[in-house]
Amino acid sequence: MLNKSSHPKDVRLACRLQQHSGNTSGLAAGFVQANMVILPKADASDFLQFCQLNPKPCPIVALSAQPGDTGIAAIAADLDIRSDLPSYRLFRHGELVQELPDIRELWRDDLVTFFLGCSFSFEEALLADGLEIRNITEGVNVPMYRTSIRCQSAGKFSGPMVVSMRPMKPADAIRAIQICSRFPQVHGAPVHFGDPAAIGIADLTQPDFGDAVSIKAGEVPVFWACGVTPQLAIAEAKPELCITHSPGCMLVTDIPNSKLALF
């Protein structure tokens, strides 16, 4: 059985053999997990620029060296991008058309693969420091909100920044800012804390994605740029073809989380 002690390669192999099709949260603890976006070359250069212009919501962990490449040795040994994630989503012209266990039959020589950092890495660093993460304590998905912060546009890609929220006491928030600042490739430091209205959030109890969490007396909401941001930009851009991981079903890389730390 896969568990937190599994080696990343074993998780990927179980996915390839279709022995695991679910969430990767909690598997292969200590290793970077990444969001995946696959686009035709015609759209990939604009999307790359979008990520470069908006590094906090769209931090690039790895990019395929050539269109059509099905592996990226630097992040995962013997990786087959077409099969080594638990579940895939196929979008055509911005519409979700299918959820698939692998994408071998869809593969084309012009497809470019992006892996983007995800919050699992910084959550692990916060927990290791003794901080509480409310969505983990309460066993729910982190609450996420569309904001009034506009991403910088690149070609057809544009949209609002989406943020995730974790409530903390101010002193814990200061510590979380210090820790997350070391990890720019997994969203880095928070982008805001305190007043939700200042970034266009009307009601914290009504997240746009994920689940609401309780906020206790003396706590403030702390907001991080979120990996749902590029998904919204892709939905607005309506590229002819786009393939992503299914929510929560990430690529488990061979990179230890600590390798992403600046210092």
Question: Binding to a second copy by residue 178, rule CB under 8 A?
Answer: yes
As a whole number of angstroms, the distance between CA 164 and CA 126 comes to: 15
Name every residue whose Cβ is closer than 8 Å to that of residue 24 and which is 6 or more positions away in sequence.
Answer: 11, 33, 86, 248, 249, 250, 252
Stretch binding a second copy (CB under 8 A), from 65-73, 78-86, 158-166, 183-191: 183-191
Q: Residue 160 CB, nearest distance to a second copy (Å)? A: 16
For 231, the 3-state DSSP assignment is helix
How far is Cα of residue 5 from the mean position of the Cα atoms in its chain?
A: 22
Q: Residue 207 CB, nearest distance to a second copy (Å)? A: 19
Paired sense of beta strands 251-256 and 31-40, if any: antiparallel
Question: Binding to a second copy by residue 256, rule CB under 8 A?
Answer: no
Q: Residue 182 CB, nearest distance to a second copy (Å)? A: 10
Name every residue whose Cβ is closer than 8 Å to that of residue 22 and which is 6 or more positions away in sequence.
Answer: 86, 87, 248, 249
Give me the residue label for tokens 């998905």.
Answer: 141
**Pattern 206-225, a second copy, x by CB under 8 A:** ------------x-x-----
Count of residues engaged in binding a second copy, rule: CB under 8 A: 18
Question: Binding to a second copy by residue 194, rule CB under 8 A?
Answer: yes
| Nearer residue to a second copy within complex by CB, 195 or 240 | 195
Question: Binding to a second copy by residue 258, rule CB under 8 A?
Answer: no
Question: Binding to a second copy by residue 94, rule CB under 8 A?
Answer: no
Among 1, 17, 171, 202, binds a second copy (CB under 8 A): 171
Among 161, 191, 251, 255, binds a second copy (CB under 8 A): 191
For 173, the 3-state DSSP assignment is helix
Element (H, E) at 166: strand 160-168
How far is Cα of residue 257 from the mean position of the Cα atoms in its chain?
A: 14
Among 154, 189, 251, 260, binds a second copy (CB under 8 A): 189
Assess contact for 43 and 96: CB atoms under 8 A: no
As a whole number of angstroms, the distance between CA 154 and CA 254 comes to: 31
| Both tokens assigned to 170 | 């101010």
| Nearer residue to a second copy within complex by CB, 75 or 179 | 179
Q: Residue 179 CB, nearest distance to a second copy (Å)? A: 10
As a whole number of angstroms, the distance between CA 117 and CA 51 comes to: 11
Question: Binding to a second copy by residue 190, rule CB under 8 A?
Answer: yes
Question: Binding to a second copy by residue 155, rule CB under 8 A?
Answer: no
Stretch binding a second copy (CB under 8 A), from 90-98, 123-131, 167-175, 246-254: 167-175
Q: Point out which residues bind a second copy (CB under 8 A).
A: 170-171, 173-174, 177-178, 181, 189-195, 198, 218, 220, 263
